[in-house]
Amino acid sequence: MRGKFIVFEGVEGCGKTTQLQKVQGWLAELLNGRPVVVTRQPGGTELGVQLRRLLLNPGPGVVIQNRAELLLYAADRAQHVEGFIEPNLAAGAIVLCDRYTDSTVAYQGYGRQLNLETIEVLNRLATNGLESDLTVWLDVDVAVGLGRAKKRGVADRIEQADLEFHRSVQNGYTELAKIHQKRIVRVDAGGSVDEVFGEVKKILSGYFLKWGFLGD
Ligand code: T5A
């Protein structure tokens, strides 16, 4: 049976990485040893690791123009879908991915104000039409998320953008969730790690039951 593609999305510091790790262990047990892989964008392939470094820590004085940024994220995604995500899904794995196409709509579309129709076309090209089976949107107040990310250490190029940019990104996620009600499920990510995990588990259990991955 083909696997499932589950994406986690949200603003900086919303807790995706933390939840993905917890979900991976829990799902591996729940699904009786079916492979569960965790990956991310940007940076889920060898080429992607290099693109991630260029995008997030390009070095002093390097200015990345908005359209160049958009295309670099698309290149990372194209490589990742064809070289990692599709082969894993075909092999029956559950692929848990930290960010996907909605990040480009939210950050480059709503944040950088690039044309949303162009982004849609580019996303389709980069993914060859692959959409997530489910996207979990961890919704947290921007200031809370940035505060969490800051506590962790040095901010990357995008974390350093002003609060207004991050609020526009948040607005992007809110709009996306309205448009794609079947695919995107919102989780209140303002609570403790365990509270959020409890909510995520409840949602995923329902989906895996519906998809026929769990016994009666
Ligand atoms: N980007 C990406 C684009 O602009 N366009 C695109 O198309 C794509 C794909 C990626 C950057 O690239 C941009 C968006 C991003 O700016 P990244 O490192 O993946 O870079 O950035 P983030 O996704 O923001 O990763 P973070 O690690 O900053 O955030 P997470 O993964 O959401 O948060 P996490 O789990 O690492 O937690 C952050 C801190 O908070 C604590 C954790 O312990 C950690 O210290 N924490 C909590 N504390 C209290 N309560 C909770 N519930 C907590 N959950 C976690």
Q: Are 177 and 102 in contact (CB under 8 A)?
A: no
Domain ranges of the chain: 4-211
**Residue-level pLDDT at 165:** 95
Tell me the mean pLDDT per 10 residues along the chain, length 216. 97 97 96 94 98 96 96 98 98 98 98 98 98 98 93 81 93 98 97 98 97 82
**Residue-level pLDDT at 33:** 84
**Residue-level pLDDT at 216:** 57
**Residue-level pLDDT at 192:** 97
The string of pLDDT tens digits covering residues 37-90 is: 999 999 999 999 999 999 999 999 999 999 999 999 999 999 999 999 999 999
Rounded CA separation 200/36 (Å): 16
Radius of gyration over every alpha carbon of the chain, rounded to an integer in angstroms: 17
According to CATH, the superfamily of the domain at 4-211 is P-loop containing nucleotide triphosphate hydrolases (3.40.50.300)
C-alpha to C-alpha distances, 198 to 87, 133, 193, nearest whole angstrom: 30, 20, 9
pTM of the model: 0.97
Residues with CB under 6 A from ligand 1: 10, 12-18, 40-42, 56, 73, 98-99, 103-104, 107-108, 148-149, 151-152, 158, 192-193, 196
CA 71: distance to chain centroid?
A: 17
